[in-house]
Amino acid sequence: MKKPFYITTTLPYVNAEPHMGHALEFVRADIVARWKTLSGFEVFFNTGTDEHGQKLFKSAEKAGKDVKAYVDESAANFKKILPLLGVSEDVHFIRTTDAHHEGAAQEFWKRVEKNGYIYKKNYRSRYCVGCEETKTESELVEGKCPIHPHLEIETIDEENYFFRFSAFGDRLLALYDKKGHSIVPEFRMNEMREFIKRGLEDFSISRLKSKMSWGVPVPGDDSHVMYVWFDALVNYISTLGWPEDTAKFDMFWKNGTPTQYCGKDNTRFQSVMWQAMLLAADLPPTHTVVVNGFVTGDGGVKMSKSLGNVVNPVDVVREYGTDALRYFVAREIGSFEDSPFTMERFKLAYNTNLANGLGNLVSRVMKMATTHIESPVSVAEAEAPKEYLKAMDSFDIQAASNVVWKAIAEADGLIQEKAPFKLVKTDKAAAVEVISDLVSRVYGIGILLKPILPMVSESILALVRAHKMPEAPLFLRKE
From the list 150, 305, 422, 478, the catalytic residue is 305
Q: SS3 for 479?
A: coil
Q: Of 359, 336, 334, 361, which Cα lies nearest the Cα of 345? A: 334
Helical H segments across 133-261, by residue range: 169-177, 186-197, 228-233, 235-238, 246-249
Q: How many CA atoms lie within 13 A of 44 on its CB side?
A: 22
From the list 3, 148, 209, 287, the catalytic residue is 148
Q: Is 22 a catalytic residue?
A: yes
pTM over the 0.75 mark: yes
- CA-to-CA distance for 163 and 202, rounded, in angstroms? 6
Q: Of 349, 465, 451, 449, which Cα lies nearest the Cα of 408? A: 449
Q: Where exactly does CATH 3.40.50.620 map onto the chain? A: 3-292
Q: For the chain, what percent of residues have pLDDT higher than 90?
A: 77
Q: Is 287 a catalytic residue?
A: no
Q: Of 475, 476, 471, which Cα lies nearest the Cα of 377? A: 471
Domain 342-466 sits in CATH at 1.10.730.10
Q: Where exactly does CATH 1.10.730.10 map onto the chain? A: 342-466
Q: Is 148 a catalytic residue?
A: yes
User: Is the CATH number 3.40.50.620 carried by domain 3-292?
Assistant: yes
Q: Is 302 a catalytic residue?
A: yes
Strand order of the β-sheet with 206-208 is 206-208, 221-226, 217-218
Angstrom distances, CA of residue 440 to CA of 237, 378, 418, 458? 43, 8, 16, 15
Q: What is the torsional sign of CA 49, 50, 52, 55?
A: negative
Residues 40 and 479 sit within 8 Å (Cβ to Cβ):
yes
From the list 22, 52, 101, 135, the catalytic residue is 22
From the list 3, 19, 209, 264, the catalytic residue is 19
From the list 3, 65, 110, 131, the catalytic residue is 131
How would you write the pLDDT of the chain (479 residues) with one tens digit per residue? 899 999 999 999 998 888 999 999 999 999 999 999 999 999 999 999 999 988 898 889 899 999 999 999 999 999 999 999 999 999 999 999 999 999 999 999 999 999 999 999 988 777 777 776 777 767 777 778 887 777 777 777 788 999 999 999 999 999 999 999 999 999 999 999 999 999 999 999 999 998 888 999 999 999 999 998 899 999 999 999 999 999 999 999 999 999 999 999 999 999 999 999 999 999 999 999 999 999 988 777 776 655 667 789 999 999 999 999 999 999 999 999 999 999 999 999 999 999 999 999 999 999 999 999 888 787 766 788 999 999 999 999 999 999 999 999 999 999 999 999 999 999 999 999 999 999 999 999 999 999 999 999 999 999 888 875 645 445 555 44
From the list 55, 101, 128, 262, the catalytic residue is 128
Q: Is 179 a catalytic residue?
A: no
From the list 52, 145, 181, 224, the catalytic residue is 145
Residues 86 and 25 sit within 8 Å (Cβ to Cβ):
no
DSSP state letters, 284-310: PPPSEEEEE--EE-GGGPBP-TTTT--
Distance in angstroms between the alpha carbons of the first and the last residue of the chain: 14
Q: Is 92 a catalytic residue?
A: no
From the list 68, 120, 197, 302, the catalytic residue is 302
Each residue of 1-26: pLDDT tens digit?
899 999 999 999 998 888 999 999 99
Q: What is the torsional sign of CA 8, 185, 168, 147?
A: negative
Residues 369 and 463 sit within 8 Å (Cβ to Cβ):
no
